[in-house]
Structures are given as structure tokens and as C-alpha cells.
Amino acid sequence: MDEATGMTLLTTLKVLYVEDNPVDADLAQRTLARLAPDLDIDIAATVLAANARLSGASTYDVALIDLRLPDGSGLDVLAHIREHGLPMAVVMLTGSSYQEPAIIALKAGADDYLVKRGDYLERLPQTLRIARSRYLSETARKSRPLRVLYAEHNQFDIDLTQRYLTQYFPYIHLATVHEAADVLACLPFSGDAALDYDVVLLDYHLHGLNALEVAKILLQERHLDLPIVLVTSEGNEEVVAQALRLGVSDYLIKHQSYLYELPAILEKVYHQTTMVRERRALQEAKRQYEELVARIPVGVYRYRLFAAGGMGFDYVSPRFCTLLGQEEAELLHDSSVLCPFVHADDREDLQHVLRQQFENPDRFHWEGRFQVHDELRWLRFESVPTRLANGDTVWDGVLSDITARRRAEERLRLAGAVLDSTRDGVLITDLQGNILMVNRACSMITGYSEAELRGQNPRLLQSGRHDRAFYQSMWASIQQIGYWQGELWNRRRNGELYPQRLSISTVCDERGTPTHYVGTFTDISQLKRTEEQLTQLAHYDPLTGLPNRLLGQSRLTHAVERAHRDS
């Protein structure tokens, strides 16, 4: 990484170019200097010069070799590289469009080939890099041993095979046995158990059981996921046919040069089995994914903005379609089918947000209303963008139905508005009596702000005019029936005592367990003053302040009643 520019720098590749034609060599060198300055080219004109360079102190990453050279063939240079185990990729150049030279080169160990025609020089940098990458991958693969269980009754064949593989394919490790019983003893009895071998190589003629019987036990009775290669003599076509029907992966006829074919067959069946396992694992992962997206309460989608223009859904889960009330095929064909179902008041906002995303991709989240089957639903889109190598941008995200949440929020908003607008004070506490919330009217009546009351106990407001028995009776009622209502005196922040009408209720959760207490109260100071004024007017003359006839009659009645009691 270049710290100054933030650009990723390409690793320099050192290339040995074996070419006897100076014009071709010069053209290639000029083209690579223009298209791929990270390629360092060293030119050799003959097999002898190339081998000398390869034997020297220089190390190369790739060899680019012309097939025809004045002192031999490019295959001779390839053979030198592979026989000496030089760690480099090889690309063969040929002037012929026939496939035979290319096939010969690939079989001899070349990583790729290129025909000298048309724009081959323009394709040369990419070909060299791909060949190098392929070589490194193949080297890494061969660094892991291929474990083969070889069953053969003929010790001479065992020794011959062992020597050949050790010399030319040392990563293929043979474990040898002579009898069928030994094969069965070396392998597990169940397909669930771990395998110690990657391939089983069976000669048809074994002591005890023949190879077909062994294969049947391993594949059909033990259900082992293990490739089997059958080795048999010429003229046993019927045996081969039976083996393939049983599930044997491949076969090899024991002709004069069969050992040359053996490594490729072992590699092939191993990789075929590996690919089948990987495909099976992918199918299982896909099944689990589809099961997951079908069960989760949110929809899953991928939306693509094409670099060449255009946009649309790559994928929508069944739940995504259900939440929107749309068919999968319609959404994948044309994502604009959603537009008419967006609420008119939300449509412009959605279009604005999408334009911003397309211009500057970022985390996306948007909530809006959709008409879904004649019902207005609130939906939330959330996604994360990824810029792909081809220039496209995709957003992977989820879609949630938030209608219930939105309705709950609206109810809370209305409840909050009611609390703020009511003239009655409201005070909410936890079960320990700690004040959690008060409304505006509570602050106006008591003189305390919400911040001053939060966390305090309502005892802060007590007037001192009620004894302990009064409060014990109050809380006994709340504990027994969950409710109390009555009148009492409390104290304002400025010390003024005032009467209030108070009701306290217990709040329970969905299981009926108490969680909070809610008190609502009204300041009845004015009401008390009005009652006192009415009493004054009823019993005293408003002008003189002297008791009036009603009060005199009342007092006379009380005096007569007292006299009767005393007599």
C-alpha cells in the first residue's frame, strides 16, 4: 500500500523470456514496459543460455518460453525447470494454432500457453500473472500429502509403484497392504468417522475377497465417502463395468506405461470427491440459509446498482415478498413495481434518500408507509453497500415490519401529550417509591422541577399534618386492592401547605406482577377557599360580619339540645 496515495502496489514479477527472434523479443519487452511496468524481463535466446540463467544466482517468478529454439525445444527448458524443482511458473509460446503442442506442454508441466497471433502481446501481462497465481495454488496444494491406501498382492508391483511415486510425485504417500481383510481393517466402519486416507487404490486380484467385493462393503455397507480406483489387467472390461456400477471412481488398466497415468488419476478422483463434498456442503449451507430466511421475521434482499446503468433486485427472500405483498418474479423483473404502493406523503422522501445512496453509497436505513393488501403498514429498510470488482454496487439488507412499534410510539406520544396538557399532577414511582417521572402540572403544583423530583421519595412533599396511622391505612389499601383515593395535605417547595385530592394506582405487567405506582392529584386549595366563603356567607352578615338569623337559629337549636341532655 502506498501511504501517500492510498493505492495498492503490484508486486514485481521477474520473468525469464526465452525467445530467439529479436523482433518478437523487442516487441514483447516494449509492450510489457507499457502495460505492465511491474514485470522485470530478462531475455535468453537459446536453450543453453536459458539453462545457464536458471542455474545462476538469479531467481525468476515466471518463465515465458518459445516452443521453437535454435538449439532445441522450449520443452527442454521446461524439463530443466521441473526436474530441478525450480519454484516458478511456466508459460509456453507457440506459433501454431493447433492444440497438440499446447497439450504436450501442459502435460509436461507448463502452467499455461499462449499462441502468437492477434493481440497476444496485449493479453501477455494477465496471462503471466494468472500462471504465477495458478502455480502458487498448485504448489500449496501439493504441499499437502495425498494419502493413498494401496492394496496389491504382488510385491514387485508395490515396489515399482512406490519407487516411481517417491521419485516423481513425492507428495503422494502410499500405505500398502496385501489382502482384502487388511483394507477393511484400515478403514472405519461408518461414514461418520474420520478418514486416514484420501484415496483407495485396489488391485482386482486380492487374497480373500476381490476388489469388487471390497468396494461394495466400503461404499454400500459402510457408506464411506472415499474415492476408489480399481487396477486390473487387460481384457477385464466386464469387471470395470461392474466396478463403475458399484460406485468406483475410476479404473486403470495394467499396460506397459500405466504408472505414468496413475498420479493424474489419483489426483483427479481425489479432487472430484473433494468437489462433490464441497458441493454437498454448499447445498446444505444453502438449505440452512433458505430455512433461516424463511423463519426469521424480517425479509432479506440484495439490491444492485449496475456500473453500466440500471438497477434492480438480485435476490428477495419469501418473507420480503410477503411483507410487501408482492410476487418474487415481479420484484426481480422490475423493482419499480413498489413505487405505487409507497404512501404519497413518503414517496418524495424515499426518492431523495435513494438518489443520495446512488451518488454516495453508505449505510442505508429508511422507514415509511406502504399499502399492503388494503392495509397501511410501516416498513423499515436497512442495508450495507459493497463495491464489487466490476464496478457494480450492491446493498445487502433486511426489511422489517415496524407497524406495531410505530403504533406503540404513537400511543406513547398521545399519552405524553395528555400528561403534558392535563391540569392534574401525575407522579410515577418504582416499587421502592423512587420518583421516576412527573408531568408539567405536577411541577406547577408542587413548585419542584422534574429534575429536582426525579429519584426522590414522595415523602419530600409531606405536610406533617397526617400521622403514621393515616399513611399505613393508605398503603394497606394499595397493597390489598391496588388503589387508594382521598384528600390530604402536602407541602409546596416554598413551604406552603395545600390540600389535594389524590388517587394512587398500582401498575402491573402482562403477568400481573406490580412494577410501578402512579399517583394523580388535584390542587383543591381554591375549592376549599370557596367552601369556606360559602360557609361564611351562610352564617354571617356580609356587611356587619355579625352572625345572621341562620347562625342564630342553629346555635339556639344546639343550646336546646344540650339543655335536654343535661336535664
Q: What percent of the chain has pLDDT over 70?
A: 93
One DSSP character per residue, 56-92 reads SS---SEEEEESEETTEEHHHHHHHHHHTT---EEEE
Q: Are residues 189 and 163 in the same domain?
A: yes
One DSSP character per residue, 273-309 reads HHHHHHHHHHHHHHHHHHHHHHHSSSEEEEEEE-TTS
Q: Are residues 225 and 202 in the same domain?
A: yes
The answer to whether 294 and 319 are in contact (CB under 8 A) is yes
Q: Which residue has the cell 479432487?
A: 271
CATH number of the CATH domain containing 439 = 3.30.450.20
CATH number of the CATH domain containing 53 = 3.40.50.2300
The helix/strand/coil state of 93 is strand
Residue 8 located in a structural domain:
no
What confidence tens digit (pLDDT) does each residue in 524-543 have? 888 777 777 777 666 665 65
What confidence tens digit (pLDDT) does each residue in 273-305 have? 999 999 999 999 999 988 988 889 999 999 999
Q: Can you give the pLDDT at residue 530?
A: 78
Give the end of a domain, one of 117, 142, 167: 142
- Backbone angles phi and psi of 227, in degrees to 5: -70, 140
Q: Domain of 273? A: 146-279
Q: State the SS3 of 360-393.
A: CCCCEEEEEEEEECCEEEEEEEEEEEEECCCCCE
Q: Are residues 17 and 118 in the same domain?
A: yes
Q: Are residues 40 and 54 in the same domain?
A: yes
What confidence tens digit (pLDDT) does each residue in 407-430 have? 999 998 988 888 888 899 999 999
- Cell (9 digits) for 13: 514479477
Question: Considering only 294-308, 385-399, 511-525, 533-547, which range has the smallest mean pLDDT?
Answer: 533-547
pLDDT average, residue stretch 319-346: 93
Q: Are residues 114 and 138 in the same domain?
A: yes
Q: Is the pLDDT of residue 390 over 90?
A: no
Which is nearest to 132 in space by CA: 28, 41, 61, 74? Answer: 61
* Alpha carbon separation from 417 to 158, 414, 502 (Å, rounded): 91, 5, 21
Residues 6 or more apart whose CB falls under 8 angstroms from that of 91 comprise: 62, 63, 64, 65, 110, 111, 112, 113, 114, 127, 128, 131
The pTM of the full predicted model, rounded to 2 decimals, is: 0.56
Residue 542 located in a structural domain:
yes
Residue 4 located in a structural domain:
no
Give the end of a domain, one of 407, 440, 466: 407
* Alpha carbon separation from 488 to 316, 442, 493, 500 (Å, rounded): 64, 16, 17, 6
**Total domain count for the chain?**
5
Q: Are residues 539 and 484 in the same domain?
A: no
Residue 291 located in a structural domain:
no
What is the pairing mode between strands 425-430 and 393-401? Answer: unpaired
Give the end of a domain, one of 224, 245, 279: 279
